Amino acid sequence: MPGMHAMWAPPVNLHNELVDWPVSLPGVLALGVMAWAVYRIVRARRSGDEHSSAPAGMFVLALVTGILGLALVATSPHGSPFAYAMTVVEIFAGACYVAGVRRLAAKGRTWPVFRTVMFMGGLVTVAVALQTSVATLVATAFTFHVVQHMLLMMIAPPLLALSAPMTLALQTSRRSTKVVLIRILHAKWFGVLTFPVTIWAGYYGLMFAFFTTPLLAFAMSHMVLMDFLNLVFLFGGCNFWWPTIGADYNPRWALPYGMRIINLLIGVPFESFLGIALLGDRAPAAPIYTLQGTHVGGGMVWMIGEVSAFVGTAIVMIQWMRAEDRLAARADRRTAALQRAAAKERDREEARSRSGERAARASRRAAAPDADSAYEEAYLRRGIPVPIILEDDRAD
């Protein structure tokens, strides 16, 4: 293939494409074991057990697996530095997320398992797009290019958005890290980057420009550019889906749920037109592809775009209903609290009133003269002056 790096040249048959990935899985596994052994050695030294037999065995394990892993990586026929770099980034991101969940659990707080599953699913989706046979089959068929594109823009970003990584980072990071994250979220450039019009241009506009201009053919002839564009696609997808269905709060542009649905529906005509344009092409999308593959890929763009819009709208509707339920429950709790406060105030008023009545009766009794008979006691108890009985009346 003219202009393409040898590591991306199409293999002899499909079997080699399915086996020879951009990363060597045995090599990655061996390097992972080496990293684990090094971690155990460092941990043992910090705890003062450097003279035990365990670190010595770990040192041998780290040496052997490191040499084996590097050898497998170096001899991988389709090995790509970009794919290996993404592997390191994905492993690091997953480790940081799990560490954050554990730190939160140490504080006695739970993190939804659903969000953890979503984050890991998003990382796996990115790995499938960039570090499996999908990445190598891109050089042979336009349909696999569409699959890679959809994985990076329509599947991985929604999963990552539902995992709320920013919320977890703000709850578990050090104060210095929190300050940096908060400054980024409130920065003016971040507001411009996450402005709805910017999001539409970076998501729908870039998608349309890539598939309908010579940019695709040029990028496929310069794989460094193609790798960079894959990162741009991933970032554009994350920037689109984060304010649309993301569980994280966006302080700059907190879109209401109705606007989120409009945000999804706006893309339906763009994706439909893009699919129709590819279906009606009279020439392949790039010289390395076939016309039939271009038409099939156009149908896939149309179908997957419509499905993603439908699924995204369903997710927004569910989030909207749950938000309304939370608001109703919050209003009910507020009303119940006000009613309890009013009832307590009434009880206090009644208690004060009864106390005042008792005090008044006591004061009247204290001020009243002592009764000389049961007759006078009965009047004094009722607070009525005792009638004066004359001697002539008694005689009568």
Instruction: Give me the pLDDT at residue 4, please.
Output: 37
Handedness of CA 253, 257, 263, 266 (dihedral sign): negative
When comparing pLDDT for 193 and 395, which is higher? 193
Determine how many CB atoms are found less than 10 A away from the CB of residue 162: 23
- Structure confidence at residue 217 (pLDDT): 84
Residue 272 has pLDDT above 70, yes or no: yes
Could you say which DSSP state residue 390 is in? P
Mean pLDDT across 74-98: 85
Which two structure tokens, joined as six digits, stand for 100?
């954050």
Calculate the alpha carbon distances from 304 to 21, 271, 308 in Å: 25, 9, 6
Tell me the C-alpha distance between 326 and 329, whole Å: 5
Top mean-pLDDT range of 67-76, 263-272, 317-326 = 317-326
Domain ranges of the chain: 6-23+76-336, 337-395
**Does the structure show a pLDDT above 80 at 313?**
yes
CA 307/CA 271 separation, integer angstroms: 11
Asked if the model's pLDDT at residue 1 lies above 50, the reply is no
- Name the residue with tokens 């970003």: 157
Placement of tokens 């293939």 in the chain: 1
Is the pLDDT at 200 greater than 80? The verdict is yes
Continuous segment of H or E residues that includes residue 265: helix 257-279
What DSSP assignment string belongs to 76-105?
Answer: -TT--HHHHHHHHHHHHHHHHHHHHHHHHH
Q: Which of 169, 189, 168 shows the shortest CA–CA distance to 180?
A: 169
Q: Which amino acid is at 358?
A: R
E strand intervals along the chain = none
- Average pLDDT over the chain, rounded to an integer: 80
pLDDT the model gives residue 9? 38
Q: Provide the token pair at 250.
A: 């966006």
118 has pLDDT over 90: yes
Residue 394, pLDDT > 50, answer: no
Position 97 pLDDT exceeds 90:
yes
Neighbour count for residue 33 (Cβ, 10 Å): 17
* 46 vs 282: which has the higher pLDDT: 282
pLDDT one-digit tens code per residue, 2-43:
333 333 334 445 555 556 677 877 888 888 888 888 878 887
128, two tokens: 């499938």
The model's confidence at residue 247, banded by pLDDT at 50, 70 and 90, is confident
3-state secondary structure of 12: coil
Distance of alpha carbon 246 from alpha carbon 260, whole angstroms: 11
Over residues 277-291, mean pLDDT = 82
User: Which SS3 state, helix, strand or coil, does residue 52 take?
Assistant: coil
Given this model, what pLDDT does residue 32 score?
84
The pLDDT, as a whole number, for residue 53 is 54
Q: How far is the C-alpha of 16 from the C-alpha of 249, rounded, in Å?
A: 45
